[in-house]
Amino acid sequence: MDSDGSNISDGTILSDEEISNESSSATSNDEQNSTTSPLDNREINDEQNSTTSPLDNREIKYFIAESVSNEHQEMLKKWVAISEELYFTQPNVVIENLYPIYLVQLDRDNPESALALEPVYCEFLEEEHKKLFVWDGYDSSRCGDNEDAREEYERNGLFVEPNGGVAHSQISSIPQRDGYNLFVSKTHDLPEHASSMGYVTLHEMFHIFQTSHYSTDSYDEQRMLNGRFSGDNPEDDVPWWNEGTAVYFSYIDYARTINDMSWFKDEMYCTLLCERDRYGNKSRLEIFKETGVKLNNITFSGNPEPIDKQIAYEIGAWFVAYLVNEHGEDKILDIFSMYEEFGFEKSFEMQFGKDYRTYLEEFYEFLELPEDQLMGILLSK
């Protein structure tokens, strides 16, 4: 097991709601809230809490906190189904690495219910994934009854973090090693932040699509393939590419789904150019330019203030938009299937005709253009 292999929480995306309001909480669930979900016309089998689909191994099992509203539950399942249609049907996706998905829906305002859900989920995991004499998906989880799992639980919690807050939305497993994808989802304030429920779900499901292409069961090797060691210091874990692609597709696919591309343009504008209290009433672009930290050198933590990982997420999405303007979206979606054969750096150069460092330097020059020219590269459909 990798030393931090059961913690994939670095992939968390924060919605604008979460960025402006860091209060959070958790939820709990009972076994009757567990279901499986297919793409479109979902039919839940009351006896087995499961559904069928054209893909034999499709299985999504829900663990929903008792205090989560029916409205949240339905929105979650809707956006999961949309994500499957968008990403899991791509030509090069590896279907056997997509499922099962264990989807935990937490209530941001109820840590107690999240704590109550933990033993339910852990008992299920032990029954389904505990194997005698073999290191398995139960052992490598934070539920496991071994020293590594206990240390990981103390460090990050399960559904409630050590500081008492509810866990953020994240993917927290490696299917090639554990035998399942664990998707932890957190509620958003409705109706004003219903969009967050959509694009955050798309974002996390996109991560499952990304990692489905890999055969390695090593967390470090998967991060290497994802371009997460592509900074000037090869030991730094950097989010700009892996998270930037997920942010871009979650934003544009949300807008396409609601048939409102103006939402996409407004969101992209604000992620780059809106002034924010947390940055002293400056925009992410202003902070990025003032600090001079390269995009691929922004890490998940330990950045010089006021730089934070969210700047890498959002400006990374703009870098993806910049590439899409020149090469189209299919080049981005297809690159993940190349990583294991060629590695991140060579795959990037093969897909886009230049190495990523050269492209980043050109992107920095692009960011100097007037606002109307920046916005002009964004797709309208």
Question: What is the Cα 336 distance to its own chain's centre?
Answer: 15
d(CA 258, CA 236): 37
The Cβ-side half-sphere exposure at 124, using a 13 Å CA radius, reads: 19
Place of tokens 């807008």: 255
208 CB contacts (<8 Å, ≥6 apart)? 87, 98, 101, 171, 175, 181, 183
d(CA 274, CA 147): 45
Cα 332 to Cα 87, 253, 264, 320, 348: the distances in Å are 12, 14, 18, 8, 9
Q: Both tokens of residue 170? A: 């994240």
pLDDT digits (tens, 9 = 90+) for 323-335: 999 999 999 999 9
pLDDT digits (tens, 9 = 90+) for 238-273: 999 999 999 999 999 999 999 999 999 999 999 999
Strand partners, 62: 103
With 0-12 / 13-18 / 19 or more C-beta atoms within 10 angstroms meaning exposed / middle / buried, residue 91 is exposed
What is the per-residue DSSP string for 130-153? --TTS--TTTTSTT-SSHHHHHHH
Q: Tell me, what's the pLDDT at 24?
A: 27
Strands 181-186 and 170-171: antiparallel
d(CA 360, CA 137): 38
CB 102 within 8 A of CB 120: no
Buried b (16+ CB within 10 A) or exposed e, 323-338: bbeeeebeebbbbbbb
pLDDT digits (tens, 9 = 90+) for 140-189: 999 999 999 999 999 999 999 999 999 999 999 999 999 999 999 999 99
**Cβ atoms within 10 Å, residue 92:** 12
Strand partners, 184: 104, 170
CB 114 within 8 A of CB 169: no
167 CB contacts (<8 Å, ≥6 apart)? 9, 26, 106, 114, 157, 158, 159, 160, 161, 184, 186
Q: Report the chain's terminal Cα–Cα distance, integer Å.
A: 44
pLDDT digits (tens, 9 = 90+) for 76-115: 999 999 999 999 999 999 999 999 999 999 999 999 999 9
How is residue 278 annotated by DSSP? Answer: G
> Residue ranges of the alpha helices (H) in the chain?
16-20, 70-87, 111-129, 147-156, 175-178, 194-211, 219-225, 242-257, 261-273, 284-291, 309-327, 329-335, 339-352, 356-366, 371-375
CB 41 within 8 A of CB 128: no
Q: What is the pTM of this model?
A: 0.87
**Cβ atoms within 10 Å, residue 154:** 10
What pLDDT band is residue 18 in, cutting at 50, 70 and 90? low
Q: Tell me, what's the pLDDT at 33?
A: 42
What pLDDT band is residue 68 in, cutting at 50, 70 and 90? very high
Place of tokens 């509810």: 166
pLDDT digits (tens, 9 = 90+) for 278-319: 999 999 999 999 999 999 999 999 999 999 999 999 999 999
Break the chain into its structural domains and give their ranges.
Answer: 9-218, 226-375
AA identity, residue 169: S
d(CA 316, CA 83): 21
CB 106 within 8 A of CB 114: yes
